[in-house]
Amino acid sequence: MTDRAFMMRLQGYGLTTAEIHYYRPDAPSLLQLFVWQEYDLAPDFPVLFDFIDHWNREIEAALHSIRIAHDQLVRPTEWRAARGELRLD
């Protein structure tokens, strides 16, 4: 069985982390931090924006700011054929 995350990385997805700052509904003058992490496609981030749409529809807390970090973990330069064999006797 193939790992879902590995297959997504091969399709161009990279690990995306979003720091979501929002106002607490019970104390609107305070900011709370929520960290979200998922595999997503840069620069459009469809998975993240689906989550933000869900947040706006279903969660009472108003968003203040979002900071996004993305890293495509599997790069073409990391894949290369190895020739030969090394034996340690």
Domain range for 57 is 4-73
Is 78 inside any structural domain?
Answer: no
Between strands 63-71 and 31-40, the pairing is: unpaired
Question: 31 or 11: whose pLDDT is higher?
Answer: 31
Is 32 inside any structural domain?
Answer: yes
- Over residues 22-69, the pLDDT tens digits come to 999 999 999 999 999 999 998 899 999 999 999 999 999 999 999 999
Is 52 inside any structural domain?
Answer: yes
The structural domain count of the chain equals 1
The set of residues, in sequence order, having a beta carbon less than 8 Å from that of 61 and lying 6+ positions away, is 22, 23, 24, 25, 32, 55
Dist. CA 78–CA 32, nearest whole Å: 38
**CB count in 10 Å sphere of residue 23:** 16
pLDDT of residue 87: 63
Is 84 inside any structural domain?
Answer: no
pLDDT of residue 1: 44
Question: 46 or 5: whose pLDDT is higher?
Answer: 46
**Predicted confidence band at 77 (pLDDT cuts at 50, 70, 90)?**
low
Is 25 inside any structural domain?
Answer: yes
Q: What are phi and psi of 66, to 5 degrees?
A: -135, 130
